[in-house]
Amino acid sequence: MREIAYEDLVKSVKAMVMHTASHLPEDALKAIEKAYEEEQSEVAKSVLKQILDNAHLASEEDRPLCQDTGLAVYFVNVGEEVKVVGGHIRDAINEATEQAYKEGYLRASTCDCFDRHNLKDEIGYNLPAIIHFDLVPGDKIEIEYAAKGGGSENVSRATVLAPAQGKEGIKAFVKQVISDAGPNPCPPIIVGVGIGGTFEVAAKSSKHALFREAGTPNPDPDLNAFEQELKEELNKLGIGAMGMGGTQTVLAVHVEKNPCHIASLPVSVNVQCHSSRHSHITL
């Protein structure tokens, strides 16, 4: 059984979280640059220019890209032949999150659902992190991370369609969600679509779809074609950067599909703003 020290895990995750807050990953940057080149509206083009300037400034001066530094969301694949010594994996990730958000001057954004008071002094600074664990073969720990803002999360939706509605029904639902969202989620956006499974599996898949590098093709050729079709449809909405009207509303659509019940067709749409802050490490 391979061993990883608790402190090493904390150190690696903390470094990743701090870096991600101020450095827009290459895939997002390239997608926005492409949108800037292709945009036909002058107003939207000037907004895209500001977004690119902001990304360069943030990384040069090590400043948070956005004041909404998000809830810390992780997908963690733990190999069956590796163990963390000196503490629990969950504690290590939470500790790393708290340290990174505090020391990086990031915002603590977790609060109580009802009275809305900030939980930084009770649970911890921007804690708890949202962690989705999975067990996999091997002796590695793979950690995918994203800082997920509230504005794009607020327009995300899930439903369960009738099987007869099929692909056309999915397309109509996704289009309705993005149309209703309009300027609110900070377009240009990345759209994660989770199809199938049960209700919660669709939602989780739509989140995980956002962790894929924007612009990389879906390995499943049918899904890849469906993603392109959806992207084209959504860009017809004309929402544009920050909703000011334009041809570049969606940077990418990512779809994940799961087998589902013979009676159901669950669909979830999770929206990611242009500040797509994500990263991953393997230990």
Contact criterion met (CB below 8 Å) for 175 and 233:
yes
DSSP string, 219-252: SSHHHHHHHHHHHHHHHTT---GGGSS-S--EEE
Q: For other proteins, give the closer residue by CB, 160 or 244.
A: 244
In terms of Cα–Cα distance, which of 262, 219, 217, 233 is closest to 168?
233
Is residue 87 a contact residue for other proteins (CB under 8 A)? no
Q: Is 128 in the site for other proteins (CB under 8 A)?
A: no
114: contact with other proteins by CB under 8 A = no
CB 14 within 8 A of CB 96: yes
The residue (of 121 and 134) whose beta carbon lies closer to other proteins is 121
Piece in contact with other proteins (CB under 8 A), picked from 81-89, 139-147, 166-174, 268-276:
268-276
Instruction: Answer whether 141's CB lies under 8 Å from 89's CB.
Output: yes
Q: How far is the CB of 98 from other proteins (least distance, A)?
A: 14
Give the interface size with other proteins as a residue count (CB under 8 A). 49
Binding region for other proteins (CB under 8 A) out of 60-68, 78-86, 126-134, 206-214? 60-68
Q: How far is CA 104 from CA 62, 110, 150, 192, 236, in A?
A: 9, 17, 19, 28, 39
In whole angstroms, the minimum distance from the beta carbon of 124 to other proteins comes to 15
Applying the rule CB under 8 A, the residues between 173 and 232 that interact with other proteins are: 182-184, 186
Query: Cβ distance 234 to 246 under 8 Å?
Result: no
Please state, as a whole number, how many other Cβ atoms lie within 10 Å of the Cβ of residue 27. Answer: 18
Sorted by sequence, the CB contacts under 8 Å of residue 41 that are 6+ apart come out as: 240, 244, 245, 246, 247
Judged by beta carbon, residue 166 or residue 182, the one nearer other proteins is 182
Q: What distance in Å separates the CA atoms of residue 243 and residue 191, rounded to the nearest whole number?
A: 16
Choose, by CB under 8 A, the member of 11, 19, 107, 140 that binds other proteins.
107
State in angstroms the smallest separation of the CB of 240 from other proteins: 6
* One of 243, 250, 271, 272 touching other proteins (CB under 8 A): 243
CB of 141 to other proteins, least distance (A): 29
Contact call for residue 108 and other proteins (CB under 8 A) = yes
Binding mask of the shown chain, residues 28 to 47, with x at each position contacting other proteins by CB under 8 A: ------------xx-xx--x
- CA–CA dist 275, 147 (Å, integer): 9
Q: How far is the CB of 222 from other proteins (least distance, A)?
A: 23
Q: Is the dihedral of CA 115, 119, 123, 127 positive or negative?
A: positive
Q: Quick check: 266 binds other proteins (CB under 8 A)?
A: no
Interface with other proteins (CB under 8 A), residue from 12, 69, 156, 268: 69
Q: Cβ(141)–Cβ(9) under 8 Å? A: yes
Beta strands across the sheet bearing 157-161: 157-161, 265-272, 189-197, 250-260
Report the interface residues with other proteins, using CB under 8 A. Answer: 22, 40-41, 43-44, 47, 50-51, 53-54, 57-58, 61, 63-69, 105-109, 116, 118, 120, 150-151, 154, 182-184, 186, 236-240, 242-247, 273-275
